[in-house]
Amino acid sequence: MKKVITYGTFDLFHYGHINLLERAKALGDYLIVGLSTDEFNEEKGKISTFKYEEREKHLKAIKYVDEIIPENSWDQKIDDIKNNKVDVFVMGDDWKGKFDFLKEYCEVVYLPRTPEISSTIIKEVQKK
Ligand code: C2G
C-alpha cells in the first residue's frame, strides 16, 4: 500500500484544497493529512476562521482523505513519515523546495496551486 502525506491548515475549505487532495491521493493508495492545530497556526502566524475540530470535520467529508493527524510543529514530518511508513510527501508548489530535506525519507512532490482561490480571498469577500 503506497502511503501519501500532506499538511496544512485547510481553513475555509475550498476547491483549491480539493484539487490538491485529489492529486495527492492519486499518487498512492492511502492519504494522511497532517492538520495544523490552532496552536501551531499561531506559530505559522495564521489565525484560522474555523477551529481544529471544524476543519477536521470538513476534511473528514472528503473521500480522498483516509486519515487525519494533528500537525503541532514544523519538525514532526520526519517522524510522521517514518512512523506511518509514508512513501510520498506532497505540498502545493508555494512550498517548492522548502521540504527537500525529506527526500532522504520519501518521495517529495510539489503540485501546482489552484489559482485565484485562497482562504484569505474568501475572508475578504465575507467582510464585504
Ligand atoms: N493549496 C492549493 N491551491 C490553493 C490553496 C491551497 O493547492 N489555491 C494547497 C497548499 O499549497 C497546501 C494545501 O492546499 O499544500 C493546504 O493549504 P493551506 O491550508 O494554506 O496550508 P499551509 O498553511 O500552507 O500549511 O507544514 C506545512 C504547513 O502546515 C502548510
Cα(92) to centroid(ligand 1), Å: 6
**pLDDT, tens only, 38-91:** 999 999 999 999 999 999 999 999 999 999 999 999 999 999 999 999 999 999
How far does Cα 101 stand from its chain's mean position? 18
Catalytic residue among 2, 44, 60, 98: 44
Residue nearest (by alpha carbon) to ligand 1 atom 16: 8
36 lines ligand 1 (CB under 6 A): yes
Instruction: Name 91's Cβ contacts closer than 8 Å, sequence gap at least 6.
Output: 6, 7, 8, 98, 99, 109, 110, 111
Q: What is the pLDDT of residues 97-109, one digit of tens each?
A: 999 999 999 999 9
Mark out the alpha helices in the chain (DSSP H runs). 15-25, 38-43, 52-60, 77-83, 119-127
* Residue 9 Cβ contacting ligand 1 at under 6 Å: yes
How far lies 25's CA from each of 2, 5, 50, 110, 113, in Å? 10, 9, 24, 13, 15
Q: Which three cell numbers stand for residue 81?
A: 513519515
Rounded CA separation 86/37 (Å): 21
Pocket test for ligand 1, best of 46, 94, 110, 121 (most atoms within 8 A of CB): 94
Q: What is the pTM for the complete model shown?
A: 0.97
Q: 96 catalytic, yes or no?
A: no
* 44 noted as active-site residue: yes
> What spacing in Å lies between the alpha carbon of 10 and ligand 1's midpoint?
7
Copy the grid coordinates of residue 106.
520519501
Mean pLDDT of 5-21: 98
Q: Give the whole-number percent of the chain exceeding pLDDT 70.
A: 100
Which cell goes with 77? 514530518
